[in-house]
Amino acid sequence: MTNNAYLGQHLSDYGIKPSYQRIKILEFLLNNRIHPNVDQIYKELVSELPTLSKTTVYNTLNLFIEKGLVQMLTIEENETRYDIDTSVHGHFKCNNCEEIYDFSVSLSTDELKDFKIKEKYVYFKGVCKDCSTK
């Protein structure tokens, strides 16, 4: 479990005014590196925060993205997930269990040296090692 004062300060460091709901959403993302969607976050927190709405979760995540605290993943056209790890890394989504796995990547952008790169995404889809052995 993470200290609320530390999480509040972490939000402040990103220029985000800490609120209890924002702290709890951040805590969930830090403690559950599962690339959750809004429904997963909402379902996990609503019992502890009965006044929480999906709109609040959406708005909080959008604020986190705007401030660079979280990145949005759209591996599938109709599904948005969120990642607390904003470093450059790749994602693998299993077609069977639908889990998303992080992996490190080494991207050379030498060929694009005259371009201004704003975003980098590397996505793979297939069957994870757990599902392929079943």
Determine if residue 60 is labeled as part of a ligand binding site. Answer: no
- Distance in angstroms (rounded) separating the CA atoms of residues 58 and 26: 13
Question: Was 55 annotated as part of a binding site?
Answer: no
Cα torsion 117, 120, 70, 27 to 10°: value is -140
91 annotated ligand binder: no
**Which of 69, 76, 77, 122 lies closest to 95, judged by CA?**
76
Ligand-binding annotation for 89, yes or no, is no
In sequence order, the 6+-apart residues with CB closer than 8 A to the CB of 50 are: none
93 in helix, strand or coil? strand
Q: Please give the annotated binding residues, written as ranges.
A: 94, 97, 128, 131
Q: Please give the annotated binding residues for Zn(2+), written as ranges.
A: 94, 97, 128, 131
